[in-house]
Amino acid sequence: MKREIIITSDGSSTIHIPEWDEQYHSKHGAIQEAYHVFIKNGFQYFNELDSSTTNQNISILEIGFGTGLNAFITFIEAKKLNRKIDYFGVEAYPVSFDEVEKLNYSKTLESGQYDDVFSKMHNLSWEEKHEITKDFSLTKQKKFFDEIEAINQFNIIYFDAFGARVQPELWTELIFLIMYKALKTGGVLVTYAAKGSVRRAMQAVGFTVERLPGPPGKREMLRATKAINN
């Protein structure tokens, strides 16, 4: 399937799939979307909830590792908050090295001091845990989402799969039950999606679901919590 690099409205790049008319990130701003959905309403939100345990690692699962943008921004923000991160990225179809070299995230984020980190994230081998720094580990797993077998392992899930319009099978009760089991009690799942069918699938497996203001170009997004009393 053909893929091409495009520039989104905030100047950051993403990968476009013409056959699906679908992007890896929002065409209204890849970096803006990542910060709003996954950092502000996921990582930073959980960090505030979890402020009493700042010496403990936060374990994050990304569904759709893709371009590595969410992992890279999480690395940068974790540095600012002095948090230790165990990051797991699941991806069935990894981005090619040629595509990675054309992505402009370091330049757009003005994070030149971390250029080597972004490259390292993509160059590291799959199926192994690697220390990017002493405070940030990365494990990339090449598998389909329904093959995830983790139980009570993660504090946060970044659910960044392709949209339900093109891959509805990734937004079902079956998939969200796997996500529910993978989260620790009190953990949160965040996604750019806001469809009623997605929200109902999350609720059906036990999540408490909030509608939140969406990133540029979207009215709403969803945050699901594995409540303590569930």
Q: Of 197, 23, 198, which is closest to residue 189 (Cα–Cα)?
A: 198
Count Cα atoms within 13 angstroms, Cβ side, for 19: 5
- Compute the distance between CA of residue 168 and CA of residue 40 in angstroms, rounded to an integer: 26
- pLDDT of the residue at 110: 86
For the beta sheet containing 220-225, the strands, ordered from the edge strand earlier in sequence to the opposite edge, are 129-133, 136-141, 85-90, 58-63, 154-159, 183-191, 220-225, 208-213
Residue 126 tokens, joined: 């799959």
What ranges in 12-165 are assigned the alpha helix state H? 30-34, 45-49, 69-81, 97-101, 105-109, 115-123
3-class SS at 138?
Answer: strand
- Model confidence pLDDT, tens digit, residues 3-18: 999 999 999 999 999 9
What is the widest separation between alpha-carbon atoms in the chain?
Answer: 47
Q: What is the pLDDT of residue 229?
A: 66
Three-state SS at 50: coil
pLDDT digits (tens, 9 = 90+) for 82-132: 999 999 999 999 999 999 999 999 999 988 788 899 999 999 999 999 999
DSSP class of residue 40 equals: I
pLDDT at 84: 95
Q: What is the mean pLDDT of the chain?
A: 94
Cα distance between residue 180 and residue 41, in whole Å: 18
Q: 22-35 b/e with 16+ CB inside 10 Å = b?
A: ebbbbbbbbbbbbb
- DSSP state for residue 135 in the 8-state scheme: T
Q: Decide if pLDDT at 230 tops 60.
A: no
- Amino acid identity of 52? S
Dihedral pair phi/psi, residue 42, rounded to 5° = -120, -80
Measured distance CA(39)–CA(30) in Å, rounded: 13
- Measured between its terminal Cα atoms, the distance across the chain in Å is 42
- pLDDT, tens digit (0-9, with 9 covering 90-100), for 165-200: 999 999 999 999 999 999 999 999 999 999 999 999
Task: For residue range 19-66, list pLDDT tens digits in order.
Answer: 999 999 999 999 999 999 999 999 999 999 876 555 689 999 999 999
Tokens of 56: 């403990």
Q: Give residue for tokens 């969200």.
A: 176
